[in-house]
């Protein structure tokens, strides 16, 4: 069972969202469409440097859309949270 404290620390940040979107050259509209959410939700999430104050479902939808598009989120592990492109399979 995952404890809620460690689950919270694995959430992606607004900074990671901005960086991920830039890496794959998506507009906020592109991400909103892929995640099935509104553009305003994407903008609201990206303006925050820490964990965005949006619903977990919307944050997860954005994360899944970006991961499907080839992004890998790197959790905070002492070296700072980040993003990178997935290695081609």
Place of tokens 């970006």: 66
> How many residues are given for the chain?
89
- In degrees to the nearest 10, what's the CA dihedral of 59, 60, 64, 70? 50
For the stretch 7-51, pLDDT in tens is 444 689 999 999 999 999 999 999 999 999 999 999 999 999 899
Each domain of the chain, given as residue ranges in start order, spans: 9-85
Q: What is the pTM of this model?
A: 0.85
pLDDT computed for residue 3 by the predictor: 37
CATH of segment(s) 9-85: 1.10.260.40
Residues in a beta bridge with 83: 73
Maximum Cα–Cα distance across the chain: 37
């Amino acid at each position: 069972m995952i404890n809620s404290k460690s689950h919270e620390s694995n959430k992606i940040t607004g900074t990671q969202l901005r960086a991920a979107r830039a890496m794959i050259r998506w507009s906020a509209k592109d991400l909103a469409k892929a995640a099935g959410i509104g553009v305003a939700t994407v903008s609201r999430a990206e303006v925050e440097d820490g964990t965005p104050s949006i619903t977990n479902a919307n944050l997860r939808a954005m994360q899944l859309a970006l991961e499907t598009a080839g992004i890998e989120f790197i959790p905070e592990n002492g070296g700072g949270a980040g993003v990178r492109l997935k290695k081609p399979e």
